[in-house]
Amino acid sequence: MFANITDYFIPVDFAGSPDLRRRVRIIINTALLTSLFSLNFMLLCWWAQLMPGFYVLLFGIISFLLLVFGYRAGWYSHVVLGYSFVFVGYITVLVNSVYQGGYYAPTTWWLGLCSVMGTFLLGRQAGLIFFGLGLATVLAFWGLEQQHYGFPNLVPADKAQFWHLDILAGLMLILVVVALVFDNINTHTLRAVGAQNELLSERTAQLEQSLAGLQAAQAQLVQREKMAFLGELTAGIAHELQNPLNFMKNFAEVSTELVDDIGGTRPGGTLRAAGLEGEILAGLKQNLREISQHGQRATSIIKGMLEHSRAGTGQRVPTDLNALVEDSLRLAYQGLRAKDRNFSAELTTALAPALPLVAVVPQDLGRVLINLLTNAFYAVQQRQRQLSTEAGYHSKVTVQTSAGPGGVEICIRDNGTGMSEAVQAKIFHPFFTTKPVGEGTGLGLSLSHDIVTTGHGGTLRVESREGEGTEFVISLPV
């Protein structure tokens, strides 16, 4: 019931936090209780015929009630309410002390209650303000006493004992009731906090359940994506392997017919023409060469798929990328020179001297660099052949490393044949290649892209202009 009375004086549009609402309820409770006990002392003053105290307490009761009603109407904030309430209490104690003996009045030491109430209601600053005000008042009473100023004591001598007893009992009762109010409010607050914690636990359980469902759905989506990619990859493998195997089958059949021709007869029984042995043997040799070439292509496709499956299985270690780039550049150049002694290109390196160590799988990243450098050498080699009669063309491959905010970059640039936009859009697709049959499987760039993005969390992008050159940029996080 008392809580309902307190909440009545809280504004309807109150939008403060639960802690602020608790503080406001304490201020209102204290003001109402003080009004109730001030009524007791007012009746005591009327009984003792102490009319100044009667009127002062009446003023205090009316002021307290006006303050809480004014707060309910929204005329001022809870801070103004608290300061005004404690100040009116201070004025009430001050005037009563003046008419009850000044420094020796039984109500003077109630000034300490003003600082205590200020601290509880408004905080440390208010407590210090009213402590200083009460101390200054007591010192003023004491100074006037020292100057032999006589404060009137209007309390009748025959009622003084009852007077002191009633004031002491009232003070004790006020403190007990205030303590009970605090305990009630704290209990109510703890219950509210407990209810909020239970609601929070329930919501947390719901969120965890939803998160588990989302993770399961995400796992299913990833699995479906993997299965879709696996299906696409399997179809690509079957298609790519079918071509060299068909070539091998066809050339084997033709070779069988040539062997029959060497035997002297054809399937129809017709005699072979004279002098065809040399042509048949030459055709048979060419067929065997084609069978070997397409067999090697099938082997290369299978080897590339095995590299795809092994990519990303190594252990990451802090690596000097400049040293790895130099080794890969030397190996790629020497590998192409071993196949074509006439090939040559200008090699330029611009390696950042303060490049930090990066945690990578050296074998996998080295494979990426060799693939990209081999493609760069192939591009300048093709342009050399196309522009063999053009004066002034010099094949050039440039490798550059640099450190940026949060990562490093490796740039491989060539001035070869370049690529069209249509080719660039498919360059990282498995089995896509622009090289002639037997010279590429279409898995090198696909494998490189997978190693950089999936295996190392980086990016691999390409910029190219047809007839001018190509640039591959590897970005790796530090």
Please state, in angstroms and rounded to a whole number, the distance separating the CA atoms of residues 317 and 320. Answer: 10
| pLDDT bucket at 162, cuts 50 / 70 / 90 | low
What pLDDT is recorded for position 340? 80
Pair 466, 382: CB distance under 8 Å: no
Which residue bears the tokens 């210090």?
128
What pLDDT is recorded for position 470? 92
Residue 310 has pLDDT above 60, yes or no: no
Q: In the predicted model, what is the mean pLDDT of residues 240-267?
A: 65
What pLDDT is recorded for position 414? 92
Higher per-residue confidence, 441 vs 453? 453
Residue 114 has pLDDT above 90, yes or no: no
Which residue bears the tokens 């009446």?
58
Highest-confidence segment of 238-242, 275-279, 328-332, 333-337: 328-332
Please state, in angstroms and rounded to a whole number, the distance separating the CA atoms of residues 106 and 100. Answer: 8
What pLDDT is recorded for position 410? 93
Per-residue CA distances from 417 to 109, 406, 466, 468 (Å): 101, 33, 6, 6
Right CATH for 315-478 from 3.55.40.20, 3.30.497.10, 3.30.565.10, 3.40.50.720: 3.30.565.10
Of 63-67, 250-254, 356-360, 391-395, the one with minimum mean pLDDT is 250-254
| pLDDT bucket at 239, cuts 50 / 70 / 90 | low
| pLDDT tens-digit map of 398-440 | 999 998 887 899 999 999 888 888 888 888 877 667 666 556 5
Beta bridge partners of 408: 403, 476
| Cα–Cα nearest to 382, from 436, 426, 420, 432 | 436
Please state, in angstroms and rounded to a whole number, the distance separating the CA atoms of residues 175 and 171. Answer: 6
- Tokens linked to 104: 């020796």
What pLDDT is recorded for position 398? 93
| pLDDT bucket at 349, cuts 50 / 70 / 90 | very high
What pLDDT is recorded for position 113? 80
Per-residue CA distances from 4 to 8, 38, 114, 177, 227 (Å): 6, 22, 26, 17, 65
The count of other CB atoms within 10 Å of the CB of residue 461 is 13
| pLDDT bucket at 395, cuts 50 / 70 / 90 | confident
Q: In the predicted model, what is the mean pLDDT of residues 263-270?
A: 53
What pLDDT is recorded for position 252? 67
The count of other CB atoms within 10 Å of the CB of residue 257 is 14
| pLDDT tens-digit map of 5-15 | 777 888 877 87
- Domains of the chain by residue range: 2-155, 315-478
Residue 41 has pLDDT above 70, yes or no: yes
- Kindly report the pTM of this predicted structure: 0.42
Please state, in angstroms and rounded to a whole number, the distance separating the CA atoms of residues 42 and 36. Answer: 10
What pLDDT is recorded for position 471? 93
| pLDDT bucket at 229, cuts 50 / 70 / 90 | low
Of 66-70, 206-210, 281-285, 399-403, the one with minimum mean pLDDT is 281-285
